[in-house]
Amino acid sequence: MCATVGSEMTKIEKVMAREAGFHPAQTKILRELLFMPTARFAELQKASGLESDHAKFHIKRLVELGYVDKIGSVYQLSIAGKEHANKLDTDAGVIERQPKVAVLLVVERYNSKTHMMEYLLQKRLKHPYFGFWVYLNIAAYTTSVHAIKRQAKSLRTNCSN
């Protein structure tokens, strides 16, 4: 799981919650759902670090606000929740500045054995496109070198799992 477990909030989590206008526990819940298609109550409770009643209150509040949908016994980000949670920079702990322009990076090579072109794709492990295969992309406000290093690190991490 991607969220910090425990009752102590990190400084980053407090900043994210304050900037997003949510209670810090709600931010933890949104962060947890950002990296998984669905989650059960126990997983979200553990991620929030709260007792059952408090976790239930905050999850219910996110459902009421329209950021989380409850489907049967599982929870998932709603369309509005995906849009909002996608703005959370989970590394820096701030609302992410959204790029006006993005660069699409297409990495290809010719396979002489199959006589076909091969393309490097990345499987999204974060909403709003969780589970989709996509070309690599670079936000306009990052340098190409920084973005390529970040993507390469991400690919090494994701491929080793």
For 74-91, how does the pLDDT look when each residue is reduced to its tens digit (9 = 90+)?
Answer: 999 998 888 887 777 766
Return the higher-pLDDT residue of 64 and 145: 64
Tell me the pLDDT tens digit for each residue of 2-31: 444 444 555 555 544 555 567 878 888 888
**Phi, psi dihedrals of residue 74, rounded to the nearest 5°:** -120, 160
What is the CB neighbour count within 10 angstroms for residue 16?
A: 24
160 pLDDT higher than 50: no
Question: Vertex 137, ends 34 and 106: CA angle to 5°?
Answer: 135
Report the C-alpha gap between 50 and 69 in whole angstroms.
Answer: 20
